[in-house]
Chains A and B, each alone.
Chain A
Amino acid sequence: MLLEVKHVTMRFGGVRALDGISLGVEVGTVHGLIGPNGAGKTTLINILSGVAAPSSGEVRFLDQMIQGLPPHRIAALGMARTFQNIRLFPTMTCLENVIAGQHLVAERPLLPRFLCLPVAARKEKEYRDQAMECLERVGIADQASFLARNLSYGDRRRLEIARALASSPRMLLLDEPVAGMRQRGLRQIGDLVRSLAEEGMTVLLIEHNMGFVMDLCSRITVLSFGRTITTGTPAEVGEHPEVIEAYLGGQENHA
């Protein structure tokens, strides 16, 4: 297991947003996390990335306890994420956003820059090429010099993924990566996630689009009102009576 969540509970005041959640994610898999609004999916992602600390429970990543660690420590272990409400750096260009995401892998030391050594410029070119590759990978290289805030909604989501990829993470947490995208975008992001998994990256994917999730994920965990209902293959999950009742009931986009 790359990531193990054990009995994680999160209380806000008297409300339990998460109530003893447990799940495990295997290396190199695409793991889906689904559930109705308010099920606690984003809260869980916040805990996994260190943005929030759980009230109780344990999170293991690479066999280290990471619950309650600050976000930058967790990121340094190889965890990257996107945000459901998109948190780009709005007045930076796309390329700059990705460069900002290289913090963990690019050194950019001060001294060679102060002395204007050629090595600094050479390394800088390498980093920029790498950043461009990330943009190409998500399909927005042609917009590299645009300000992030001027991008279309779907392209902003793509840019967030590119920024997360810039640090070559072990694990990627995607919070609704295709929300608001059309069919073409769905297919592109799906292909991207698949190819990332083939390269050995582990992906935890929150998504409402059931077709997308069923298609892409090898395992799916279903949350409802802060509890785990079940974890299994897409087929198992699709047939689970509680899941059908709690989440799929009446929805026509069941693939």
Chain B
Amino acid sequence: MEFVTHLLAVYGSLLNFIGIQSLLALSLYITLSAGQLSLGNAAFAGIGGYVSGVLSLHYGLSYILALIAGSASAGVVALVIGLPVLRLRGVFLAMATLAFGEVVRIAAVNLTITGGAQGLVGIPNRTKGWMIYLVLAVVCYVVARLRGSRVGWSFATIREDETAAATLGIHTTYYKTLAFVMGAVIAGLAGGMYAHLTFIISPGEFGFSAAVQLLIYNIVGGTRTWPGPILGTVLLIILPEVLRGIGVAAGALRMAVNGLVLLLVILFLPNGLASLFQGGSRQTPKVAPLPREEA
């Protein structure tokens, strides 16, 4: 027991960070599971963080209500931009969401209520570690049960071939928007919890690098099953700490390891590290709800 307390004291903030980042990675996973490459999820986290932070800091709203408001705002924004943006495919969608993310970041820099470039300072510290992991557990459960449902099948089908999906009666625009909005809601929630964890949030935290990092977590872990993005997140956050532990101090080298892991995974394990754990289960006639790759 003493050991656990000690562990939490030393690594508590790291664990909290892993929890938040896992939530964000899962938010992108949902969007990716419908085949939509979004680089806007960091911005949605920013919207959630700023809206909930401003509401509880300046308007004294309770923590839960502020979180709901932040998450809902991210969802509404996703709904509004999703309809026009989701007509774009692949790389063009990625760039449109990227541009959207930059607009959000620049807005946060220029508005007074968000505290400008210095960031929003003095957000009440309400998020506890267990809350993050409770939310993460719920999100994991929802995502896990989603596959095999009508929504989950529609996502998977659109991801494989959008035109063929439409001729099977799937309202592709509806489901793509749904995936986009669900991702935004979860990202907004994670952003709100993050804001109430760190006292201060600044626009730079929700920029392009953050969006790309979420994509990296997903690719490294694998985007075919929900544990994939969590695996990727945990690995890529812990690895630098381990390296520091064994004496690799240089920031550049740790950064290089991040890039090297990503490169090796995309070249040799295109379905991510999670695919290492699900070998020969493919030949059984029992249907796995979502497609997996076979060696």
Bound-state Cα–Cα, A109 to B146, Å: 10
Tell me which of A75, A100, A124, A145 contacts B285 (CB under 8 A).
A145
By the criterion CB–CB under 8 Å, are B169 and A89 in contact? no
By the criterion CB–CB under 8 Å, are A75 and B287 in contact? no
Bound-state Cα–Cα, A106 to B169, Å: 12
Which positions 263-295 of chain B face chain A at CB distance < 8 Å?
Answer: 282-288, 291-294
Tell me which of A51, A103, A128 contacts B163 (CB under 8 A).
A51
By the criterion CB–CB under 8 Å, are B166 and A72 in contact? yes
Bound-state Cα–Cα, A243 to B166, Å: 35
What is the minimal beta-carbon distance from B83 to any residue of chain A, in angstroms? 14
Bound-state Cα–Cα, A212 to B146, Å: 44
Pick from B104-112, B147-155, B245-253 the stretch touching chain A.
Answer: B147-155
By the criterion CB–CB under 8 Å, are B166 and A75 in contact? yes
User: Residues 134-160 of chain A: 1 if any B CB is under 8 Å from the residue's CB, otherwise 0?
Assistant: 000000000011010010000000000
User: Residues 80-95 of chain A: 1 if any B CB is under 8 Å from the residue's CB, otherwise 0?
Assistant: 1101000111111101
Most buried by B among A70, A103, A167: A103
A110 interface hit (Cβ, 8 Å): yes
Bound-state Cα–Cα, A103 to B167, Å: 10
B interface: dominant SS: helix
A12 interface hit (Cβ, 8 Å): no
Tell me which of B149, B165, B287 contacts A113 (CB under 8 A).
B149
Bound-state Cα–Cα, A165 to B229, Å: 36
Which positions 91-139 of chain A face chain B at CB distance < 8 Å?
Answer: 91-93, 95-96, 99-101, 103-104, 106-110, 113-114, 124, 128
Which B residues contact A (CB, under 8 angstroms)? 141-142, 145-146, 148-151, 153-154, 156-157, 160-161, 163-172, 282-288, 291-294
**A-B pairs with beta carbons under 8 Å apart, 5 shown:** A50-B166, A72-B167, A72-B169, A88-B164, A145-B285
In addition to A70-B166, A92-B160, A145-B286, 7 A-B residue pairs with Cβ atoms within 8 Å of each other are A72-B172, A89-B161, A91-B293, A93-B291, A110-B151, A113-B148, A145-B285
